[in-house]
């Protein structure tokens, strides 16, 4: 008879068991995502629409002030669709980042009572944000029809890659911050502010081209490559820049590795300190 055997030992930092276990608990990712969506849409007045209202309002405000009044260039496409494409990816990143960074502290009541691979929580957080992304992407589709813009064929390959990079960046940086959050409890008050500022280091409301001699520095931000290439593929603002895409891939891999390493370190004593 095949009996599943568990051996409990002082914990090592990494082992193969982590990966097989994550797979065994995959259903829990579904349940946490399902709960997040259900609870959020029950609590807010407009429900599912909230996912659309948020980026839509931001797009309107930015279009009036930056596109209309400040006349910020938009690489030859109408400013509203230019900024909305940026916002779509930016929101996937920043929402995931802020929730992943609070995920250990926010779920301590579960973490101190039941065992499951701790990575399940931050993973399902990002999955939830993907649902929001696809809902708010409907507006983008509508805008493309309105402005008569046809996405290039490359999009079929490029966009999924960009989504994976975005998720990996948010997950990696988020795990790192989640671990810091556990140790230093004052960090979470600064984080939202810090995340808000990040938007200015990324070409969301302006095109990368206006950065001039700083544009090389800007390209080091993995989210830069994501948003530039998203616009290139979807709106035809430029050719897909493979070098920049490569930088983004390298950036997200580094972030993810650091994030997982720090998270794993804290995970070992997390239940003892909260």
Partner 1 sequence: METPIIEVKNIGKRYTIDHERGRYIALRDVFASIIRRPFAFMKTRAKRAVGLEKKEEFWALRDVNFSVQKGEVIGIIGRNGAGKSTLLKILSQITPPTEGEITLRGRVGSLLEVGTGFHPELTGRENIFLNGAILGMKRSEIARKFDDIVDFAGVGKFIDTPVKRYSSGMYVRLAFSVAAHMEPDILIVDEVLAVGDAEFQKKCLGKMQEVTRKEGRTILFVSHNMAAVDMLCKKTVWLEHGTVKRIGETKEIVEAYLSDRPSAEMVTTRRSDQIATKKEKGVPHFTDISVAPVGGGPIKSDSQLEIKLGYSSGSDKSIAEPQVSIIIFNEASQQRVLYMNSGISNKNLGDSLPAQGTITCQTGNIDLKAGSYTINVWLTSNNTNHDTIDDAFRFEVTTDMEKFDYKLPPTKDFTDHLIPYAFKNE
**Residues in contact with partner 1 by the rule CB under 8 A:** 3-11, 27-28, 31, 34-35, 38-39, 42-43, 109-116, 180, 183-187, 268-269, 271-274
Task: Provide the minimum distance between the beta carbon of 171 and partner 1 in the complex, in angstroms, as a whole number.
Answer: 21
Residue with tokens 């944000």, as numbered in its chain:
129
Task: Determine the Cα–Cα distance for residues 81 and 79; give it in Å rounded to an integer.
Answer: 6
Minimal distance, residue 117 CB to partner 1, in Å: 10
CA distance 88 to 233: 14
SS3 217: helix
> Within a 10 A sphere around the Cβ of 271, how many other Cβ atoms?
13
Q: Is the CB of 5 or the CB of 148 nearer to partner 1?
A: 5
Choose between 35 and 242: whose C-beta lies nearer to partner 1: 35
Between 186 and 193, name the residue whose CB sits nearer to partner 1.
186
Backbone angles phi, psi at 9, to 5 degrees: -135, 165
Q: Which long-range contacts (CB under 8 A, 24 or more apart) does 31-34 make?
A: 31/124, 32/120, 32/121, 32/124, 32/125, 32/128, 33/124, 33/127, 33/128, 33/131
As measured in angstroms, the least distance from the Cβ of 110 to partner 1 is 5
Burial environment of residue 195 by CB neighbours within 10 A (0 to 12, 13 to 18, 19 or more): middle
Q: Which is nearer to partner 1, 186 or 216 (CB)?
A: 186
Nearer to partner 1, 131 or 161 (CB): 131
DSSP string covering 124-145, please?
Answer: HHHHHHHHHHHHHHHHHHHHHH
Between 69 and 114, whose beta carbon lies closer to partner 1? 114
To partner 1, the closest distance from the beta carbon of 76 in angstroms equals 45
CB of 246: closest distance to partner 1 in angstroms? 35
CB of 113 to partner 1, least distance (A): 5
Supply the minimum distance, in Å, between the C-beta of residue 114 and partner 1: 5
Q: Which is nearer to partner 1, 114 or 243 (CB)?
A: 114
Q: Smallest Cα–Cα separation from 170: which of 225, 208, 123?
A: 123
Q: Which residues contact 168 (CB under 8 A, 6 or more apart)?
A: 252, 253, 255, 256
């Amino acid at each position: 008879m095949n009996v599943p055997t568990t051996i409990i030992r002082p914990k090592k930092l990494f082992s193969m068991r982590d990966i097989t276990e994550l797979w065994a608990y995959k259903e829990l990712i579904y349940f946490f995502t399902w709960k997040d969506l259900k609870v959020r849409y029950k609590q807010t007045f407009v429900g599912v629409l909230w996912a659309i209202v948020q980026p839509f309002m931001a797009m309107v405000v930015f279009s009036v002030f930056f596109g209309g009044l400040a006349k910020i260039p938009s690489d030859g496409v109408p400013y509203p669709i230019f900024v909305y494409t940026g916002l779509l990816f930016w929101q996937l990143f920043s929402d995931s980042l802020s929730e992943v960074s609070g995920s250990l502290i926010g779920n301590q009541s579960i973490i101190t009572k039941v065992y499951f691979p701790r990575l399940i929580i931050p993973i399902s957080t990002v999955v939830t944000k993907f649902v929001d992304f696809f809902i708010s992407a409907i507006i983008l589709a509508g805008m493309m029809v309105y402005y008569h813009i046809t996405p290039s064929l490359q999009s079929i390959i490029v966009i999924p890659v960009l989504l994976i990079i975005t998720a990996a960046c948010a997950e990696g940086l988020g795990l790192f911050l989640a671990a810091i959050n556990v140790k230093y409890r004052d960090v979470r008050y600064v984080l939202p502010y810090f995340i808000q500022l990040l938007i200015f280091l990324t070409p969301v409301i302006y095109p990368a081209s206006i950065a001039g001699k700083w544009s090389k520095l800007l390209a080091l931000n993995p989210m830069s490559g994501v948003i530039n290439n998203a616009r290139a593929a979807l709106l035809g603002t430029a050719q897909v820049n493979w070098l920049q895409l490569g930088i983004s891939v390298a950036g997200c891999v580094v972030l993810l590795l650091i994030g997982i390493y720090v998270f794993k370190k804290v995970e070992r004593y997390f239940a003892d300190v909260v």
